[in-house]
């Protein structure tokens, strides 16, 4: 399946079993989980969307995406 490469913005290939993402243009090669973390850290639109799933954050610190594991 074709998806947008977060580094070069060209087409990247997501494996049918969602195991990895590869881009022939910039040699990106990472697991799908790493891809999601990379996009969440580097693309503002997606980091904003992730905030929709946190519920109320009043009185709490944000933490980091490294804590997802």
Determine contact, residues 20/30, Cβ cutoff 8 Å: yes
Residue 59 lies in a domain: no
pLDDT of residue 51: 60
Count structural domains, the chain.
Answer: 1
pLDDT of residue 67: 60
pLDDT in tens, the chain (69 residues): 999 998 899 999 999 999 999 999 998 999 988 888 888 777 766 666 666 555 555 555 555 555 655
Residue 18 lies in a domain: yes
Residue 15 lies in a domain: yes
Residue 63 lies in a domain: no
DSSP states along 6-57: TTT-SEEEE-TTS-EEE-TTT--EEEHHHHHHHHHHH-HHHHHHHHTTS---
Determine contact, residues 14/32, Cβ cutoff 8 Å: yes
Residue 21 lies in a domain: yes
pLDDT of residue 16: 94
pLDDT of residue 56: 53
Domain range spanning residue 26? Answer: 2-54
């Amino acid at each position: 399946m074709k998806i947008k490469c977060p580094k070069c913005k060209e087409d990247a290939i997501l494996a049918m079993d969602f195991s990895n993402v590869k881009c022939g243009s910039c040699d990106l090669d990472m697991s799908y989980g790493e891809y999601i973390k990379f996009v969440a850290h580097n693309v503002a639109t997606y980091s904003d969307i992730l905030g929709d799933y946190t519920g109320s954050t009043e009185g709490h610190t944000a933490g980091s995406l490294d804590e997802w594991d």
